[in-house]
Structure 1
Amino acid sequence: MDHITFYPQGDRAITINFGNEIQKDLHQKITIFTKHLETDPFPGMLEVIPSFTAVTIFYDPTKVELPTPNQTPYEQIVKIVKSKLFTLPLSNSQKSKTVTIPVCYGGEYGLDLQAVANYHQLSEQQVIHIHSNQEYIVYMIGFAPGFPYLGGMAKEIVTPRKATPRLKIPAGSVGIGGEQTGVYPIESPGGWQIIGRTPLQLFQKNSKQPSLLKAGDVVRFQPITPQRFTSMEVFE
């Protein structure tokens, strides 16, 4: 546990840093730790937010149980977290949820597909085949509500972000940004290379669980035709 560091985020949050590099094994530890906290929260804990290499815990300092009056809520939480890390399960007992996301690639739905293909001297169909034949892990949700940062993309289609970001990217757009791929859940600006679009709604603010995906989920992309996209969009 020597490589794990702790630091406060104001007086109502603590960040536990597990490392400095994005790695699958590191992400698995973060996922196990997050689920361990969610199933066995300590008094005063409000929310747990995992990221690529760290976990941030938000808490109510007035509800943290202090064994001595001289101890601060932060100091007590560090002790609690260290104790939980020592008792952390070696493997995740909960099976990851797999979500299949239909995508209409290219054309009006994927304005940068040809550019990505040209960058790698591939055909559009080769890019689609490579992108849709991988299994991706949701490393974190961020940037915009419900936006999944997905790891596991094939190196053959790793593509730099656009030099000039677009001011408006439609909701559902599937993009490539460097070594990662992701889906824009809402209309927003962005600089990722847009290769397709899904009719699925990844974020519904009025839902009990607004985000379709969460850290630790597994994602697969399934190519669909424009006709299928239109019919699913109407159905949604």
Structure 2
Amino acid sequence: MKDPKYLTAGESCVVVEFADEIDRGANDAVVNLKKHFLDQKNIPIMECLPTYRSLAVYFDPTVVSADEVIKEAQSAPKFNGEEGAAHLVEISIPVCYGGEYGPDIANVAEHAGISEEEVIKRHSSKIYHCYMIGFMPGFAYLGGMDESIAMPRLTNPRTVINGGSVGIAGKQTGIYPIDSPGGWQLIGRTPVRLFTPEASRPTLIEAGYEVRFLPVTEELYKKIKSEVAVGTYKPLITEAKKRWNLSSEKQGC
């Protein structure tokens, strides 16, 4: 992994760029640097915004300078792309695949030349990495999908997609956290809330998290949805394990 670049974005933001392309090792470096800034007590920071390959660090320019932010970033422990993220968290997301919940699963199956059941098997057998949150609050961009079920976006995006819908776009998969327009191919839906604005931590999935999809029946989907509505459902969140050579995995957009 190359040495990071330090760029200013206006008077109140420094961007630390780790790569020129989407790279798993670079993204773990982003997550580690974010943790460093949130943990350190040397300079006040307003916000850290992770992306696929860079970290934007926002600060009050009347209190701290861009040079001080860059110096703090340079003082963080060096990362060579093989140690893994600083905090590996795995979250399991229940999904009801197909039917009214996944109206495009037949298209994905036809495109891949496999059955709908095989699409479900391949999609749910992987452990995904959240590279970043974007597009809307709580929308997690997940890499690591089986490329055999990769699928282009819809030619004509939908004007309304139900919150919780699980979709495929290119080599990535993601979950729409709220009702919104969108062009991803929908293969299922989760009853779990991905974005809760009134919560102390509004987004369920964060950059650096590992995500596993668990196929569930429509009956169990409705049961979980009822539990979510009354606040009794607790997502399964565990400590993840290092399973890969981080420096070698790359993802396409």
Q: Does 1:224 align with 2:216?
A: yes
TM-score, normalised on structure 1? Answer: 0.91
Corresponding letter in the other structure for 1:88: K
Between the two proteins, what is the percent identity of the paired residues?
39
8 A Cα contact 2:141 2:173, kept in partner = yes
1:93/1:191 CA distance change after superposition, 3 Å: closer
Q: Which residue of 2 aligns with 1:179?
A: 171
8 A Cα contact 2:162 2:176, kept in partner = yes
TM-score, normalised on structure 2? Answer: 0.85
Q: Which residue of 2 aligns with 1:48?
A: 48
Q: Which residue of 2 aligns with 1:58?
A: 58
Corresponding letter in the other structure for 1:51: T
Quote the offset at 1:97 in angstroms.
1.2
Once superposed, what is the RMSD of the aligned Cα atoms?
1.6
1:42/1:159 CA distance change after superposition, 3 Å: farther
* Runs (5+) with no aligned partner, structure 1: 65-72
Q: Does 1:78 align with 2:70?
A: yes
Corresponding letter in the other structure for 1:33: L
8 A Cα contact 1:175 1:196, kept in partner = yes
Q: Which residue of 2 aligns with 1:102?
A: 94
> Counterparts of 2:153 and 2:57 in 1: how far apart (Å)?
31
* Runs (5+) with no aligned partner, structure 2: 229-253
Q: Structure 2 residue aligned with 1:151, among 123, 143, 153? A: 143
Quote the offset at 1:24 in angstroms.
1.5
8 A Cα contact 1:164 1:191, kept in partner = yes
Corresponding letter in the other structure for 2:156: T
Q: Which residue of 2 aligns with 1:88?
A: 78
> Counterparts of 1:93 and 1:24 in 2: how far apart (Å)?
10
Quote the offset at 1:30 in angstroms.
1.4
Quote the offset at 1:6 in angstroms.
1.8
Question: Would you say how many aligned residue pairs link Structure 1 and Structure 2?
Answer: 226
Quote the offset at 1:75 in angstroms.
2.7
Q: Does 1:113 align with 2:101?
A: no
The structure with more radius of gyration: 1
8 A Cα contact 1:174 1:182, kept in partner = yes
Q: Which residue of 2 aligns with 1:68?
A: none
Corresponding letter in the other structure for 1:104: C
8 A Cα contact 1:145 1:185, kept in partner = yes
- Residues 47-103 of structure 1, C-alpha deviation per residue, up to 9 Å, x if partnerless? 111110100000011121xxxxxxxx223322332233xx33663584411100000
- Residues 103-153 of structure 1, C-alpha deviation per residue, up to 9 Å, x if partnerless? 000000001000000111110000000000000011101111001000100
> Counterparts of 1:215 and 1:201 in 2: how far apart (Å)?
17
Q: Does 1:9 align with 2:19?
A: no
Q: Which residue of 1 aligns with 2:27?
A: 27
Larger relative contact order, structure 1 or 2 (CA cutoff 8 Å, min sep 6):
2
8 A Cα contact 2:129 2:210, kept in partner = yes
